[in-house]
Each structure stands twice: as structure tokens, then as C-alpha cells.
Structure 1
Amino acid sequence: MNYLSHIGKYFLMLGQVFRRPQRGRVFKEALFREIDELGLKSLGIIMFISFFIGGVIALQTALNIESPFIPQYLIGFATKRSIILEFAPTFCSIILAGKVGSYITSSIGTMRVTEQIDALEVMGINSINHLVFPKVLATVFFYPFLIVLSMFLGILGGWVAGVTSGIFSHVDFLYGVQLQFDPFLIKYALVKTLVFAFLIATVPSYHGYYVKGGSIAVGKASTQSVVWTIILIVIANYFLTQMLLT
């Protein structure tokens, strides 16, 4: 029953989030600030992890192909599919859920326990829309760019692994990357990204907005928000895969 009440409060919060912003100039400033905090400051970790994970996937694929009858271009093909289908949209979103989700919960939760949210409501401002809506737009519009960049860098990392290690031919790797390219897989990954971005913005916001207590409660809420966001991403990934690929 407690879970049902949380779900009800979550959807009630969403109803307040998508109301029209009251002040255009203030909303634009908040939106650009959230793009910087939630998007641009996540570029470094996504670029770093994507490049090296792409190299690791390529090397592991090459080292597990023992039969000389299996062509080397399948290394590039398998690396491309692994990165586009799962690593870039799903695992990068899980990484962002930890980094961004804890930030969102702690920032909104701190405003709640210090009564800054109460002050906004006294001034007649829709506090949920003011705090959450810019975060939703920033993640939904910017995260697809991050995921496409992750795809490119992951495949580049695999190619560099072939050049530097000599375990497989980087020419065959590029041929495998180009082999049977299906644009629908990119669309599938971006659809998943949009759903995951929405969860990353709203679930931590819910935990931060309704936190009760002091700084310790904010810390616990940050941990809970990350855990629940990751759980929902994994569940959503399962159902989206069933709906879009079967």
C-alpha cells in the first residue's frame, strides 16, 4: 500500500510539472543552468568511459573468437551492435542515474529541508514546475546527444584497440562496423534514451521534493533515488526491448 501511495504522489507531481511556466525569463535561465549542470558536466565521464569500454568490448570479442574459420570483421560487427543496443543507451543512463540523480535529489531535498520550497509557494510560484520542469527538458533534449556521442566514441575505442594491440585488423573492424547497418537500431537506442532521461529527471526530483527531516534524510533520499531510478531503467529496458525489437 505504501508503494501505491508513492506511485500516486509521483503522478500527481508530474501533473504539476507540465503546467505552463509562470515567468519566461526565469524559466530560460533555469533551463540553461540545468543543461550545464545535468548535461555538459556529464560529458567528460561519458566520453572517458565510452572510449575505453568500446576498446574492452572489441578486445574481449577478439580474444573469445578461437576458430580461424570465423572472420575477423565479426569483431567490429559485434562491437557495433553491443554498443548501440545496450552499452550506450542503457549503461550510460545507469551511470548518469548515479551521477545526476544524486545531484537532483540532494539539491531539491536541501531546498525542502531549509524551507526554500515553502518560500516559493508563499510567493505564489508553482514550486514543482519551477524546480523539476527545467530538469526534465534539459535531460530529455540533451541526453540523446550524449548517447550518440557515446556510440561514436565506443566504436572509435574499439578501432583504436585494434590499431594499438594488433590482436585484430582495424581494417576488418571497420568493415564489420559498416556491415548490415540498420538505422532502426539507432532509433531504438534513442527511444530508450528518451524514456531513461525522463526517469533520471523525475524520480530523483520526486525523492528530493518530498523528503522529510534534515541533512541525514537528504542523504538517504539521494541513495534511494539512485537505486529506484536504476531499477526502473532496467525494468523499462526490458519492456522497451520486447516492444521494439520483437
Structure 2
Amino acid sequence: MKSPFTNIHSTFLKETGGIALFTARFFKELFKPRQEFEEFLRQCFWVGYKSLPLVAITAFIMGLVLTIQSRPTLVEFGAQSLLPAMVSVSLVREISPVITALICAGKIGSGMGAELGSMRVTEQIDAMDVSGTNPFRYLVVTRVLATTLMLPILSNISNAVSLYGGFLGVNIRGQVSWSLFWTQVFNALSFGDVVPAIIKTFFFGFAIGVVGCYKGFNSTKGTEGVGQSANSAVVVASLLVFIIDLVAVQITDLLGLT
């Protein structure tokens, strides 16, 4: 009788190998002629524009709450004047990119897993293949590129909105002018804060797109498998976001950008 740990280990290795081969196929199909630009733009609209309200609302509340909860601790040490700088560094370096990626993993990753999974179990992907259309290039390449390019844009918008929420949070108990707040924010931020945070969001978006498409493209077991694909896409994509973030922090630290 096999141990449960053996089954988990076998499943982990199988999924890791499957995602690696799927990623390799993506790069192989990416540079082949006849790119699906219309589908790519449509996916950018759905990934970027349709996710913007949720990302913006979450970012605003996040900046407001972080500022309000951080203020009492700084007041105890008489350092409330450092509140804009502390909030800006925390949001730009870590909180906004990761929270935005997790929101997209839940919304976009599950959506891709469910959409492609339903197309797989209803044999629409097989029909595309028979009709001469490359389903991988049309369905997968466009979606992965859209998530890779749109997530950094969403993350930058999230930074701006969350900092505005921080400005309102600072002025709930105190009084800081608009120009002074943003002067303190930009004085606190440096190259090592902004650029690595932007770069890692490309990897966040790529991981979310690959995992969501992989789970949906390889969905089985009928309609039950569609739900499993959507659920596992969220779990795996969220886990990869944290792993990529950990690696990015280590690399940034080794390069002396922290």
C-alpha cells in the first residue's frame, strides 16, 4: 500500500513537470508567425480593464487602513512625521504588488481555468485543432502575454491609488498638505524600491497566466474537472506568487538594492 506522502510527492513532480513543459511550449509557439493580435488585445481588455475596479478599491482601502493602523505606533515614539515615508515604502516595495497579484490570481487565474476547462470538456479545443486553428497559440499565448503585460500596469495603478488612500489616512488625525505628503513620499522612495517591485510583477503575471491556462487546457473529468481546474489554478498561482516574491527579495538583497 502506497503512503499518502508518496502520492503527494508523485503528484507534485507530475504537476511541476507538466507546467515546465507547458511553459516551454509557450515560448516555442510565441515566436511562430501569424500572431493573434486581436485576441491578445481582447484579453488585455478583460485582464486589465475589467480587473481595474476591484484592484483600485482594494488598493485604496489597503493604503487607508495601513496608514490609520501605523499612526499610533509612530506617535508613541514621536515619529508621526515619518508616516508618509513608511507607508510609501511598504506599499510600493511589497504590499501593493503582492496584493494585486493575489487578486489577479483569484479573479483571472480561476477565470482562465474555468473558461479553458469548459472548452476542453466540450471539445471546442479539439474542434479548433481539427479546423486548422492552432488552439494553443490562440487561447494560451494571448492570455499569458496579456497577464504578463497587464499585471505591472495594474500594480502601478494600485501603488498610486493606495498612496492616495494613505494621504487621506494621514489627514484623518493630522494635517499634512498635498505637496508635503508627496515630497516625503518621493524622497523616501529610491531606485531599489521601485524598479525591483515593477520587475517582479511581470513574473507574477506570467506565472498566473501559465498556471491558469495549464489547468484549464489540461482539464479532465467533465464538468467536475472544470471546477477543480479553476480551484487549483487559484491555489497554485497564489503559491507561486509568494515563491517568486521570496526569490525576488533574496535577489534584491544580494544585489544590495534593499
TM-score, normalised to structure 1's length? 0.92
Structure 2 residue aligned with 1:209: 217
Structure 1 residue aligned with 2:7: none
CA deviations over 1:73-108 (Å, ceiling 9, x no partner): 211011001110111111110111001111000110
Structure 2 residue aligned with 1:57: 66
Structure 2 residue aligned with 1:227: 235
User: What is the CA distance between 1:141 and its match in structure 2?
Assistant: 1.6
- AA aligned opposite 1:159: F
1:45 to 43, 49, 54: 54
Structure 1 residue aligned with 2:176: 170
CA deviations over 1:208-234 (Å, ceiling 9, x no partner): 111102112101111111011111111
1:185 to 162, 183, 193: 193
Q: Is 1:137 aligned to 2:142, yes or no?
A: no
User: What is the CA distance between 1:124 and its match in structure 2?
Assistant: 3.4
- Kept in 2: contact 1:53–1:157 (CA 8 A): yes
Structure 1 residue aligned with 2:12: 3
2:44 to 35, 43, 48: 35
- Kept in 2: contact 1:105–1:222 (CA 8 A): yes
Moved over 6 A (4+): none
CA deviations over 1:104-160 (Å, ceiling 9, x no partner): 001100100000111122223332222111111111122211111111111111111
CA deviations over 1:194-214 (Å, ceiling 9, x no partner): 110001100011111111021
Whole-Å Cα distance in 1 between the matches of residues 25 and 124 of structure 2?
Answer: 18
Structure 2 residue aligned with 1:160: 168
User: What is the CA distance between 1:185 and its match in structure 2?
Assistant: 1.3
1:92-103 → structure 2 map (5 Å cutoff): 92-103=100-111
The number of aligned residues is 241
RMSD (CA atoms): 1.7
- Kept in 2: contact 1:73–1:173 (CA 8 A): no
Other structure's SS at 2:189 match: coil
User: What is the CA distance between 1:65 and its match in structure 2?
Assistant: 2.1
Whole-Å Cα distance in 2 between the matches of residues 88 and 238 of structure 1?
Answer: 15
Other structure's SS at 2:188 match: coil
Structure 1: unaligned runs, 5 residues or longer: none
Other structure's SS at 1:125 match: coil
User: What is the CA distance between 1:9 and its match in structure 2?
Assistant: 1.9
Identity over aligned residues, as a percent?
29
CA deviations over 1:39-64 (Å, ceiling 9, x no partner): 11001011111112101111111122
Q: Is 1:74 aligned to 2:82, yes or no?
A: yes
- AA aligned opposite 1:157: G
2:244 to 212, 236, 243: 236
Whole-Å Cα distance in 1 between the matches of residues 182 and 68 of structure 2?
Answer: 14
User: What is the CA distance between 1:22 and its match in structure 2?
Assistant: 5.2
Whole-Å Cα distance in 2 between the matches of residues 181 and 217 of structure 1?
Answer: 46
Other structure's SS at 1:8 match: helix
Whole-Å Cα distance in 1 between the matches of residues 53 and 253 of structure 2?
Answer: 31
Structure 2: unaligned runs, 5 residues or longer: 1-9
1:74-153 → structure 2 map (5 Å cutoff): 74-153=82-161
- Kept in 2: contact 1:136–1:202 (CA 8 A): yes
User: 13-22 or 76-85: which moved more?
Assistant: 13-22
Whole-Å Cα distance in 2 between the matches of residues 129 and 12 of structure 1?
Answer: 15
